[in-house]
Amino acid sequence: MIGPKLEAIIGIEVHAQLATATKLFCACPNRFGCAPNANTCEVCTGQPGALPVLNEGALALAVRAGLALEAELQPLSRFDRKHYFYSDLPKGYQITQWDRPLARGGRVELGSGESIGLERIHLEEDAGKALHGDGETLVDLGRAGVPLIEVVSRPELTSAREACEYVERLREILRYGRISSGDMEKGALRCDVNVSMHHPGAPLGTRVELKNLNSLRHVREAIDFELERQSSLLTGGQTVEQETRSYDPVAGATRRMRGKEDGADYRYFPDPDLPPIALDTGLLQREAAALPDLPAARRERYISELGLSDYDADVLTRNRELCDLFEDAVRLGGDPKRAANWITNDVAAARAGEKSAPEVLEREELAGALVELIELVEDGTASTPAARTILARLLRRGGRPRALLESLSLEQVSDETDLGAWCRAALAQDPDAAAAVRAGNDKAIGALIGAVMRASSGRADPGGVRRLLTSLITEQA
Tell the smallest beta-carbon distance from residue 13 to Mn ion (Å): 7
Interactions with Zn ion, residue window 29-48 (CB under 5 A): 41, 43-44
Selected range binding Mn ion among 149-157, 260-268, 289-297, 409-417, rule: CB under 5 A: 149-157
Residue closer to Mn ion by CB (options 150, 372) is 150
Q: What distance, in Å, lies between the first and last C-alpha atoms of the chain?
A: 59
Q: H or E element: which one contains 397?
A: helix 384-397
Q: Which does 369 bind (CB under 5 to 8 A by kind): Mn ion, Zn ion, none?
A: none
Residue closer to Zn ion by CB (options 142, 177) is 142
Residue closer to Mn ion by CB (options 126, 165) is 126
Give residue 468's identity as a one-letter amino acid code.
L
Selected range binding Mn ion among 150-158, 202-210, 291-299, 399-407, rule: CB under 5 A: 150-158
Interactions with Zn ion, residue window 248-267 (CB under 5 A): none
Q: Which does 28 bind (CB under 5 to 8 A by kind): Zn ion, Mn ion, none?
A: Zn ion
Interactions with Mn ion, residue window 311-350 (CB under 5 A): none
Number of residues located near Mn ion, criterion CB under 5 A: 1
Residue closer to Zn ion by CB (options 27, 425) is 27
| Contact between 193 and 222 (Cβ < 8 Å) | yes
Q: Which does 150 bind (CB under 5 to 8 A by kind): Mn ion, Zn ion, none?
A: Mn ion
| Contact between 451 and 445 (Cβ < 8 Å) | no
| Contact between 201 and 192 (Cβ < 8 Å) | no
| Contact between 126 and 26 (Cβ < 8 Å) | no
Tell the smallest beta-carbon distance from residue 280 to Mn ion (Å): 25
For 197, phi then psi, to 5°, come to -135, 150
Tell the smallest beta-carbon distance from residue 17 to Mn ion (Å): 12
C-alpha to C-alpha distance for 31 and 2, rounded to whole angstroms: 43
Residue closer to Zn ion by CB (options 44, 71) is 44
C-alpha to C-alpha distance for 105 and 158, rounded to whole angstroms: 19
Decide if residue 127 touches Zn ion (CB under 5 A): no
Site string for Zn ion, 386-425 (x = CB under 5 A): ----------------------------------------
Quick one: which of 80, 126, 150, 165 contacts Mn ion (CB under 5 A)? 150
Site string for Zn ion, 44-73 (x = CB under 5 A): x-----------------------------
Residue closer to Zn ion by CB (options 28, 391) is 28
Q: Classify 333 in phi/psi space as left (phi over 0), alpha (psi -120 to 50) or beta.
A: left
Decide if residue 455 touches Zn ion (CB under 5 A): no
Tell the smallest beta-carbon distance from residue 462 to Mn ion (Å): 56
Identify the three-state secondary structure at position 398.
coil
C-alpha to C-alpha distance for 164 and 111, rounded to whole angstroms: 12
DSSP-derived secondary structure letter, 113: S
Quick one: which of 26, 369, 373, 445 contacts Zn ion (CB under 5 A)? 26
Angle between helices 431-438 and 416-429 (to 10 degrees): 100
Residue closer to Mn ion by CB (options 80, 312) is 80
Q: Give me the DSSP letters along 172-239.
A: HHHHHTTS----GGGTSEEEEEEEEEE-TTSPP---EEEEEE-SHHHHHHHHHHHHHHHHHHHHTT--
Q: Give, in degrees to the nearest 5, the angle at Cα 51 between 48 and 55.
A: 140
Whose CB is nearest to Mn ion? 150
Give residue 327's identity as a one-letter amino acid code.
E
Tell the smallest beta-carbon distance from residue 101 to Mn ion (Å): 11
Residue closer to Zn ion by CB (options 37, 246) is 37
Q: Which does 41 bind (CB under 5 to 8 A by kind): Zn ion, Mn ion, none?
A: Zn ion
The Cβ-side half-sphere exposure at 323, using a 13 Å CA radius, reads: 23
- Label the pairing between strands 208-213 and 243-248: parallel
Decide if residue 28 touches Zn ion (CB under 5 A): yes
Contacting residues toward Mn ion, per CB under 5 A: 150
Contacting residues toward Zn ion, per CB under 5 A: 26, 28, 41, 43-44
